[in-house]
Amino acid sequence: MRALRVLREVDLIAAEDTRRTARLLQHYSIATPATSLHEHNERGKAPHLIARLQAGASIALVSDAGMPLVSDPGAWLVTAAREAGIPIQVVPGPSAVTAALAGAGMSGPFGFLGFPPSSGRPRKDWMRRLAEMGGLTVVFFEAPHRMAKTLGELHTLLGDRPIMVAKELTKVHESLVEQPISTWLDAPEGPALDRGEFVVIVPPWLDVGDNRAEPPGGEAVLHEMGDMTNRQGMKPRAAAKALAAKYRLSADDIYELHSKREK
């Protein structure tokens, strides 16, 4: 109700897609004018909107599905408004991140990684960051045309562990299904991977506990690495990176010790 009141009372609505927002406004008989603000025009349009705010106008920022700024437009406008001393009021709305965590029953610490880069070095760095977050629940978004590729790389990186894939959260056809990565790739029982908006939840695969500052001896680390590669199916490089993050050690040193033992 507060969101509807705000949309009625502001002077302008900055919307990611004015066509989608128009259907919402029409449904609730809201006549407030709207202007587009998306990833391709936000940087150039923000100064004009800031000028209107400084002149006394009020503007509501909305995105198509989810919370503005959470892998959605709005960062340029909000940052510019704060720098100009313009007060920001947040009206909480749907967020796929928190909805997915609640639906999955995950109440502990988590890391949100947004969308994986599509290719190249940024994608490799993104996957490395994920591998190093083994003590946390990891949440990220993915587009339907890249789901199969991303899950395949996740399988190579972490082994065939159960993950949760949420689709169309807070919408009519929402679903949240947990199954091994290989099942998603080979014969998915849950939502189809070729359409929709996805949230992927990777539960923690390392128990970091209180021992991050006190790493065990080399043999113990190698034994743990052997368990991760043999029983859990992780690749040696990914296991070394995860252990390095867990114990604040060098991933290269762990991998080198492992390679010598394997020889």
Q: What is the DSSP letter of 144?
A: G
Structure confidence by residue, pLDDT tens digits, 227-236: 777 766 777 8
Task: Work out the burial of residue 111: count CB atoms within 10 Å of its CB; fewer than 13 is exposed, 13-18 middle, 19 or more buried.
Answer: middle
Distance CA 144, CA 9 (A): 37
Contact 34, 15 (CB under 8 A): yes
Q: Please count the other Cβ atoms lying within 10 Å of the Cβ belonging to residue 244.
A: 20
Residue ranges in the chain modelled with pLDDT below 70: 187-195, 207-217, 231-232, 245-248, 263
Question: Cβ(39)–Cβ(76) under 8 Å?
Answer: no
Predicted pLDDT at 208 = 53
Question: For the chain, first and last CA: distance in Å?
Answer: 66
If one counts every other C-beta atom within 10 angstroms of the C-beta of residue 137, the result is 21
**What integer pLDDT is reported at residue 122 of this predicted model?**
93
CA dihedral 197, 114, 255, 184 (to 10 degrees): -10
Report the side by side order of strands in the sheet with 59-62.
Answer: 34-36, 12-15, 59-62
Residue type, 152: G
CA dist., res. 55 & res. 49, Å (int): 10
pLDDT at residue 263 in the model: 64
Residue 191 is predicted with a pLDDT of 57
Cα–Cα dist 145/194, whole Å = 6
